[in-house]
Amino acid sequence: MKRNGLLIRMDIYNTTGVWILVESEGHKVEDKKKIRHMLFFTGSFGFAVFAMVVVTEIIRVSMH
């Protein structure tokens, strides 16, 4: 059950990244730097949230 929850969260993160990439394709070349920065920020934030969830799950399991 817990493992499925983590997998679902990972899917949400991956889907968000793909959606942002698809949205970015329509922009002009001069916006590339801005898009790259946005993707990096979103990716880093998503990974940080995912890592925090994993750590929380590990702590919760070890407490029981």
Between 51 and 26, whose confidence is greater?
Answer: 51
| Residue range 2-50, pLDDT digits in tens | 454 444 454 555 555 554 554 445 556 567 778 788 888 888 888 999 9
Question: What's the Rg (C-alpha) of the chain?
Answer: 15
User: How far, in Å, CA of 24 to CA of 35, rounded?
Assistant: 7
| Residue 52 pLDDT exceeds 70 | yes
Question: pTM (2 decimals)?
Answer: 0.45
The residue range of the domain holding 33 is 2-63
Tally of domains within the chain: 1
What is the per-residue pLDDT for 29?
59
What is the per-residue pLDDT for 25?
52
